[in-house]
Amino acid sequence: WAIHPKQVALANEVFTPSDAAVADARAILAAMEEAKANGQGATTYKGKLIDIASMKQAEVIVKQAELIARG
């Protein structure tokens, strides 16, 4: 958290997910949507198991990036 407005820029810089992390999160969400459409509760992404917990983590990363981008 920041207690002074001048700290917000630094906090955003430190806590903003990298472009690669956001891209991976979006890909995980897409993979899970496809899996759900096929009646599956889990699938793989880059050789790793992903499931609803992975999806929730990916949603947090994407939302965090969107909120920080809005300023």
Tell me the residue range of the domain where 64 lies: 18-70
Asked whether residue 27 is assigned to any structural domain, the reply reads yes
Question: Contacts from 22-26 at CB under 8 Å and sequence distance 24+?
Answer: 22/61, 22/62, 22/65, 24/58, 25/57, 25/58, 25/59, 25/61, 25/62, 26/58, 26/62
Q: Tell me the catalytic residues.
A: 51
Check residue 13 and give its pLDDT: 86
pLDDT beyond 80 at 1? no
- Does 63 reside within a domain? yes
Please state the pTM of the whole predicted model.
Answer: 0.83
Position 35 in a domain? yes
Answer whether residue 3 is part of any domain. no
Confidence of residue 9 (pLDDT cuts 50, 70, 90): confident
Q: For residue 68, is pLDDT > 90? A: no
Mean local confidence (pLDDT), 41-67: 97
pLDDT tens for each residue of 10-46: 988 888 999 999 999 999 999 999 999 999 999 999 9
